[in-house]
Amino acid sequence: MILEVTGLKKYFDTPAGIVHSVDGVSFKLAKGETLGLVGESGCGKTTTGRTIIRLYEPDGGRIIFDGQDITRKSSRDMLPFRKRMQMIFQDPYASLNPRMTAGDIIREPMIIHGLPKDEHTDRVSHLLRLVGLNSEQAGRYPHEFSGGQRQRIGIARALAVEPEMIVCDEPVSALDVSIQAQIVNMLEDLQKSLGLSYLFIAHDLSMIRHISTRVAVMYLGRIVELSGSDELYSRPMHPYTVSLLSAVPIPDPDKSDMRKLVALKGEVPSALNPPSGCNFRTRCPEAKPECSHLTPELEDKGNGHYCACPFV
């Protein structure tokens, strides 16, 4: 395993109270695997990714990277690990320094991690070509690129120090649909050629099915279901997953008309004051009185299919 996360917690103290952004998340990521992390906006997906690579300090749980506990390591001790675990950010417009050229943006991680200076120029050119850009574009500034090209620069920056694992934080959600497929296909090709492991965060369930080996479904700071991609989409167990998948568009009108939409009642509760027991019980069509005091943990239902509901 390249990554093992156990009971990860991240809370934010705000004037209104404590936000339970990540509340006991556990999963494993194998080398060369893509784990998709899906859920509604605000469920804690991005916070989970940022906490794993220690952009946020965890408030509980453990993060094991390649057999070593990095949960409490200092910034100085984290430097060798940051070389091995990188992140592709969601917004290619905000994640690139507008005062730096594309070449300088890609070169910066090499400087921080002490790669030989005489290799920088050749490596920048190689990385630009690797992500589908021309080496001659190294001297241009971010505003001279399209959104898709900017994200390619962000990907090249993440690859600059030859990482083993990349957290992909909704890397295509800010792009046009026609560009999204190109970026996803490129990420798959890079994974095969470089042996990368991905934690792929997204809310597009069709895309997650295409790129992921396994899928984890997150709701209000917790993972409610975790399974192999094909298994999850063909046999969802948790009521929340069933509802999510029932809303995925189907291009065949006949099949779409035959499908039953599972609508959820109410609104997503506030992470400032999550419900007691199962945090999904206030919207669950299958909720029982016991759900108000039972906090369900992920249980293996067979075939590597985990579900946090004792009643499925």
Domains, the chain, in order of start with CATH, read 3-212 (3.40.50.300), 237-312 (no CATH)
H or E element, residue 64: strand 60-65
Q: Which residues of 169-205 are buried (b: 16+ CB within 10 A; e: fewer)?
A: bbbbebbeeebbebbbebbeebbeeeebbbbbbbbbb
- Compute the radius of gyration of the chain from its Cα atoms: 20
What are the tens digits of pLDDT across the range 203-242?
888 888 888 999 999 999 899 999 999 899 889 999 888 8
pLDDT at 118: 85
Q: How far is CA 154 from CA 72, 183, 227, 232, 239, in A?
A: 28, 11, 30, 31, 36
Q: What b/e sequence results for 243-273 when a residue is b if at least 16 CB atoms lie within 10 Å of its CB, and e otherwise? A: bbbeeeeeeeeeeeeeeeebebeeebbebee
Using pLDDT thresholds of 50, 70 and 90, give the confidence band for residue 261: low
Residues 6+ apart with CB under 8 A from 289: none
pLDDT of residue 243: 85
Residue 254 has what pLDDT? 56
Do β-strands 299-300 and 306-307 pair in parallel, antiparallel, or remain unpaired? antiparallel
Question: Which tens digits make up the pLDDT trace of 36-58?
Answer: 999 888 888 999 999 999 999 99
Q: What is the pTM of this model?
A: 0.88
Q: What local confidence, expressed as pLDDT, does residue 43 receive?
A: 86
Take residue 136 and report the two structure tokens written for it: 């001659």
Mean pLDDT of the chain: 87
Q: Tell me how far apart the alpha carbons of residues 241 and 244 are, in angstroms, rounded to a whole number.
A: 5
